[in-house]
């Protein structure tokens, strides 16, 4: 049976109005808006969907979610379980906050390894908090496994020993055949994750996450410390002031907008 | 030999990727004598280097260098760059945060356990510490973070495409060649079966002086016909928000934003786009934003120069008709 590991990160909800996004400039931290729960990083849900589609196509597989973090919102992290993933492994560790991409990749590699390895590791193209897209690439380095980024379509080859992948590229896409085990990053072009049905939600409620700390993984010092330090964090202020064009009615405003833009030589 | 900044340039179709000249300018912020390395095959046109203002250019020669961007998903280029770093021992490496640059920079950082600052829009040397400091957008562009390198290890910086102007000063760099034909990728690699180009519709977004984008507020694919008509009148390129693309109303190649295209038109007209930070990340260098949206509080209006608050179904036809009239044409 194919083992698929999906790396999923808990991140702040990205759908809050930009005006509600606040940071603490002294503590160098983002202040999550009160009462808004975190989400599973959007691209990671696309990655879960990619795994589920392989299963839909008849590939017998176990789908295991791996997440490194702390202060997990369990009902949030269980979302992949509710749509069909089999298990949830949480590396819950306060020190994970301080890890950089390489440190996180080392922890994920160790957690996947300890769980018996994987034939396919799926991740999101980037996490929507720090927008880097480094962890899966580094993971492929650490695992010495081939890497395909920006996957928009994924299928098993006829022989069942490699993957047929479509990868988004400038001006089109690339068809790639990738041997296993492999690491891939998934992009939203693949399609949104399916909705959970009641049965799925009930099943997920009963499942318990398998929790570990970094020390449990027996890998010693994983931090790639002291290379890069954050010294500032701020929200930019927009200097633009808008001139609202008004008219007798909406259509009139549209007409006047065209005249105004012509006057300003913008069209 | 030990060097300061090593620029890793991207090669496309035997020439320089547009980001190379941007990196030259970016490197100038921290080192006037940066070296530029390029992974090339025989087909590379050395003439392309004529006006690159760097200390030296180093060609990392490998017969498959140009193939790799497509097959292997940049794994060979990554090996060539790692080999160059081994030999040249730079203090910093500068790469563009393109699809290829993302992979190469992260592989290099993992290989050398280096510090990696990604997607930077500003680079300086902190005068009090003498260390390289960078600024980068985070959380979809909702915030900016400043980082400073520490320690003595390798520093890897990736630079956001378009964040720096292209260098036009020019120069006549000396070209040195390193034969790296012996380098190979160990282990299994992904194999490119074919590259399929999906012919884009209309004027390319990156080159257009006017761009018109539609968002979720349009409610379906049909209103994009209205935008196409407007684009025709304005000689504009057609853009969209991710929400509109994800809904299948328009192809993803039209997406503007953090994970879509970066545009810098003189005039950017949006219709039913709320202006999420991830969208604005792709159009922050548009000089004049013009927004039509029914919500006066929509974030797009805090970036716009001109705005109309209203239902697009009422505003847009009248706007388009007036534009047509100004252009001396009638709408069909
Ligand atoms: C990591 C990450 C990367 C992302 N990358 C991108 C990206 O590259 N590009 C991108 O665009 N988004 C991106 N997004 C998504 C982004 O966060 C927003 O969800 C998206 O931009 C919203 O699209 P929208 O403005 O069309 O939709 P909404 O935010 O839903 O806005 C619709 C607007 O239409 C208006 N409207 C509704 N009805 C009408 C009407 N009848 N007439 C006029 N106006 C009307 C509403 O008032 C509203 O302002 C990304 C998100 C994440 C997390
Ligand atoms: N802490 C984490 N736990 C699990 N997966 C992660 C974590 N950080 C990053 N990833 C995975 O790596 C992808 C890219 O993240 P990043 O490199 O942080 O932008 C994410 O979309 C996830 O799939």
Contacts of A142 in chain B (CB under 8 A): 110
**How far apart are alpha carbons B27 and B7 in whole angstroms?**
7
Could you tell me the two tokens for B175? 């070209």
Q: Are strands B210-214 and B132-138 parallel, antiparallel or unpaired?
A: unpaired
**Ligand 2 atom closest to A41 (CA):** 21
Among A20, A127, A146, A16, which residue's Cα sits nearest to residue A67?
A127
Query: Using CA atoms, how far apart are residues B203 and B184, in angstroms rounded to an integer?
Result: 40
Dist. CA A141–CA B108, nearest whole Å: 9
Q: Would you say A67 and A8 are in contact if contact means Cβ atoms under 8 Å apart?
A: yes
CB contact under 8 A, A234 and B292: no
Q: Which of B95, B116, B289, B300 to mutate to probe the A interface, most A CBs <10 Å? A: B116
Ligand nearest to the CA of B119: 2
A177 contacts in B (CB within 8 Å)? 190-191, 193
Query: Which of A78-82, B32-36, B308-312 has the least mean pLDDT?
Result: B32-36
What does the pLDDT look like over A92-123, one tens digit per residue? Answer: 999 999 999 999 999 999 999 999 999 999 99
Ligand 2 atom closest to A99 (CA): 1
Q: Is B293 left (phi over 0), alpha (psi -120 to 50) or beta?
A: beta
What secondary structure letter does DSSP report for B59?
Answer: E
Q: How far is B151 from chain A (nearest CA, A)?
A: 6
**Which residues in chain B touch residue A12, judged by CB atoms under 8 angstroms apart?**
139
Residue whose pair of structure tokens reads 């705005």 in the numeric block: B307
What spacing in Å lies between the alpha carbon of B307 and ligand 1's midpoint? 17
Instruction: Please indicate whether, in this complex, the C-beta atoms of A17 and B299 are within 8 angstroms of each other.
Output: yes
In the Cβ-directed half-sphere of A120, how many Cα atoms lie within 13 Å? 34
Name which of A142, A258, A262 to mutate to probe chain B: the one with the most chain B Cβ atoms within 10 A of its Cβ: A258
- B240 Cα: distance to centroid of ligand 1 (angstroms): 9
Residue A173: closest C-alpha in chain B? B196
pLDDT at B111 over 80: yes
Ligand 2 center from residue A148 Cα (angstroms): 15
Are A175 and B318 inside 8 Å of each other by CB? Answer: no
pLDDT confidence of residue A163: 98
Q: Do B289 and A172 touch (CB under 8 A)?
A: no
Tell me if A242 and B306 make a contact (CB, 8 A cut-off): yes
Q: Which residues of B touch A29 (CB under 8 A)?
A: none
Task: Output DSSP code: residue B164.
Answer: S
Closest among A114, A124, A85 to A218, alpha carbons compared? A114
Q: Which residues share a beta bridge with B307? A: A244, B291
Are the beta carbons of B309 and A244 separated by less than 8 Å?
A: yes
Q: What is the mean pLDDT of residues B47-67?
A: 83
Whether residue B173 has pLDDT greater than 50: yes
CA of A8 to the centre of ligand 2 (A): 6
Below-70 pLDDT ranges, chain A: none
CB atoms within 10 A of CB B294: 16
Q: Which helix (H) or strand (E) holds A123?
A: strand A120-124
**B284: distance to nearest CA of chain A, Å?**
10
pLDDT at position A4: 98
In the block, which residue shows the tokens 């930009």?
A: A18
Cβ separation B196–A174 shorter than 8 A = yes
In three-state form (DSSP H/G/I as H, E/B as E, the rest C), the secondary structure along B290-313 is EEEECCCCCHHHHCCCEEEECCHH
Q: What is the average pLDDT value for chain B, to the nearest integer?
A: 92
Q: Is A72 in the pocket of ligand 2 (CB under 6 A)?
A: no
Q: Is B106 on the interface with A (CB under 8 A)?
A: yes
SS (H, E, C) B189-243: CCEEEEEEECCCCCCCHHHCCEEEEECHHHCCCCHHHHHHHHHHHHCCEEEECHH
Cβ-nearest to B303 among A14, A240, A262: A240
Query: What are the C-alpha distances in Å from B116 to residues A64, A203, B86, B153?
Result: 29, 41, 17, 11
Cβ-contact B22, B123 below 8 angstroms: no
Q: Three-state DSSP class for A52?
A: helix
Is residue B62 pLDDT above 60, yes or no? yes
- Out of B196, B246, B289, the one facing A188 most closely (by C-beta) is B246
Position B304 confidence tier, pLDDT thresholds 50, 70, 90: very high
CB A4 within 8 A of CB A182: no
B213 CA from centroid of ligand 1 (Å): 11
A139, B110 in Cβ contact below 8 A? Answer: no
pLDDT recorded at residue B263? 95
Counting one residue from A and one from B, how many pairs have CB atoms under 8 Å apart?
Answer: 276
Which helix (H) or strand (E) segment holds residue B150: the answer is: none
User: Does residue B205's CB lie within 6 angstroms of at least one atom of ligand 1?
Assistant: no
Asked if B56 contacts B173 with a C-beta cutoff of 8 angstroms, the reply is yes
The CB of A101 under 6 Å from ligand 2? The reply is yes
Q: Which ligand is nearest to the CA of A45?
A: 2
DSSP, res B261 = B
Instruction: Tell me the longest C-alpha to C-alpha distance in chain B.
Output: 68
The lowest-confidence range among A250-264, B158-172, B287-301 is: B158-172
Nearest CA-CA partner of A115 in A246, A263, A4, A237: A4
Given pLDDT bands bounded at 50, 70 and 90, which one contains residue B68? Answer: low
Read off the DSSP letter of residue B256. Answer: B
Taking contacts as CB-CB distances below 8 angstroms, the residues of chain A near B197 are 171-172
Radius of gyration of chain A (CA): 22
Question: E strand or H helix at A184, and its extent?
Answer: strand A182-186
* H/E segment holding residue B77: helix B75-88
Q: Quick one: which of B125, B146, B124, B143 has its CA closest to B135?
A: B146
CA atoms within 13 A on the CB side of A228: 26
Q: Calculate the CA dihedral of residues B74, B76, B77, B83 and round it to 10 degrees.
A: 140
Q: Residue B1's pLDDT is what?
A: 42
Evaluate if residue B51 carries a pLDDT over 80.
no
Partner-chain contact A21 B143, CB within 8 Å: yes
Residue range B294-307: average pLDDT?
Answer: 96
B163 touches chain A (CB under 8 A): no
Rounded CA separation B3/B33 (Å): 9
């Amino acid at each position: 049976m194919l083992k698929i590991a999906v790396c999923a990160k808990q991140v702040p909800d990205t759908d809050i109005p930009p005006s509600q996004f606040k940071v603490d400039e002294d503590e160098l931290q983002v202040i999550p808006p009160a009462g808004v729960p975190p989400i599973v990083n959007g691209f990671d849900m696309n990655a879960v969907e990619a795994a589920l589609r392989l299963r839909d196509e008849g590939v017998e597989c176990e789908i295991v979610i791996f997440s490194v973090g702390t202060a997990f919102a369990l009902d949030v992290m269980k979302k992949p379980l509710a749509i069909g993933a089999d298990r949830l492994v949480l590396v819950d560790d306060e020190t994970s906050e301080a890890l950089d991409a390489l440190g996180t990749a080392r922890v994920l590699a160790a957690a996947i390894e300890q769980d018996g390895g994987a034939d396919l590791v799926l991740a999101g193209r980037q996490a929507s908090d720090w927008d880097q897209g480094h962890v899966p690439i580094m993971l492929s380095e650490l695992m010495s496994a081939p890497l395909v980024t920006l996957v928009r379509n994924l299928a098993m080859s006829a022989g069942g020993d490699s993957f047929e992948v479509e990868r988004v590229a400038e001006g089109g896409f690339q068809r790639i055949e990738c041997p296993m085990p492999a690491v891939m990053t998934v992009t939203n072009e693949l399609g949104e994750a399916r909705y959970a049905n009641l049965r799925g939600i009930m099943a997920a409620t009963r499942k318990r996450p398998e929790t570990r700390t970094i020390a449990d993984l027996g890998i010693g010092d994983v931090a790639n410390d002291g290379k890069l330090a954050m010294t500032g964090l701020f929200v930019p202020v927009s200097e633009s002031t808008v001139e609202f064009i008004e008219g007798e009615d909406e259509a009139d405003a549209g007409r006047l907008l065209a005249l105004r833009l012509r006057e300003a030589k913008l069209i | 030999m030990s060097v300061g900044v090593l620029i890793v340039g991207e090669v496309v179709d035997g020439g320089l990727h547009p980001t190379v000249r941007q990196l030259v300018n970016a490197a100038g912020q921290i080192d006037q004598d940066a070296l530029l390395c390029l992974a090339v095959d025989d087909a590379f046109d050395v003439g392309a280097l004529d006006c690159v203002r760097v200390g030296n250019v180093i060609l990392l020669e490998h017969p498959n260098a140009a193939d790799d961007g497509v097959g292997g998903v940049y794994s060979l280029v990554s090996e060539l760059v790692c080999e160059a770093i081994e030999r040249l021992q730079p203090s910093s490496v500068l790469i563009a945060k393109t699809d290829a640059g993302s992979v190469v920079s992260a592989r290099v950082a993992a290989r050398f356990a280096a510090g990696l600052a990604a997607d930077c829009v500003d680079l300086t040397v902190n005068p009090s510490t003498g260390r390289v400091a960078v600024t980068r957008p985070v959380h979809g562009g909702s915030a900016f973070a400043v980082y400073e390198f520490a320690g003595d290890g390798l520093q890897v910086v990736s630079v956001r495409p378009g964040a720096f102007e292209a260098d036009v000063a020019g120069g006549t760099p000396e070209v040195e060649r390193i034969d790296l034909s012996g380098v190979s990728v160990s282990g299994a690699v992904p194999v490119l079966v074919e590259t399929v180009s999906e012919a884009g519709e209309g004027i390319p977004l990156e080159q257009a002086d006017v761009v018109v984008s539609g968002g979720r507020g349009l409610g379906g694919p049909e209103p994009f016909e209205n935008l196409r008509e407007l684009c025709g009148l304005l000689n504009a390129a057609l853009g969209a928000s991710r929400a509109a693309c994800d809904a299948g109303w328009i192809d993803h190649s039209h997406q503007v934003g953090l994970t879509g295209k970066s545009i810098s038109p003189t005039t950017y007209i949006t219709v039913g786009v709320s202006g999420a930070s991830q969208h604005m990340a792709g159009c922050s260098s548009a000089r004049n934003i013009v927004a039509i949206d029914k919500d006066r509080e929509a974030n797009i209006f805090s970036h716009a120069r001109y705005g109309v608050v209203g239902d697009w179904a009422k505003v847009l036809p009248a706007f388009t008709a007036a534009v047509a009239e100004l252009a001396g044409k009638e709408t069909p």
